[in-house]
Amino acid sequence: MQALVDFVLSVWREVWPLVKIEPWERGVRTTFGKKPRGLDSGIRWALPFVHTVEVENVMAQPLDLKEQTFGDVVVSGRLQYRIFDLCLLFRSVEDYEEYLANDACSLVGEYMTEEDDPNAEDLVEYVTSQLPSMCEEYGIKLIRYVLADYTVAGVHKVFGGLAL
């Protein structure tokens, strides 16, 4: 019986023409997968089987970056971002958090391999000078990059939490 109720509810959600977008969210409505149109918060309509609506939180979001090892130095970071152009984001990339993390990690790797004497402060400055322009290409604004850990092998926790 529960399976039947679940099935009816899932069908009802697909054919229901209204979508609720909360104040902290924005939406994109596409018609047959084309012509993205931005939607502000509120109750919005979407024709079943014609329109697809994607809703995303546009408030500041945290993203933890994977730990990277460069010789005897271990680096991990965290960034905060927000979406400023949802239509551009949906036209540009499919998994924007993966792109964002890859861009940040590639900049960390670029700095750590090219610098003769890398240090935490210069690493944060390098990433924060390069990453914002990369993010804007797909509708994301970088708010902050924080180096969560910068540890040299053989030394217990040299650095943690520099934010610029």
What does the alpha-carbon distance between residue 124 and residue 127 come to, in Å, rounded to a whole number?
A: 5
- Sort 79 into a burial class: Cβ within 10 Å, 0-12 / 13-18 / 19+: buried
**Sequence spans of domains, the chain:** 2-57, 61-163
Determine the topology of domain 61-163 in CATH: Tetrahydropterin Synthase; Chain A (3.30.479)
pLDDT by residue for the chain (164 residues), tens digit each? 888 888 887 777 666 788 889 999 999 998 888 888 889 999 888 888 888 888 999 999 999 999 999 988 899 999 999 999 999 998 888 899 999 999 999 999 999 999 888 999 999 999 999 999 999 999 999 999 999 988 887 655 545 554 43
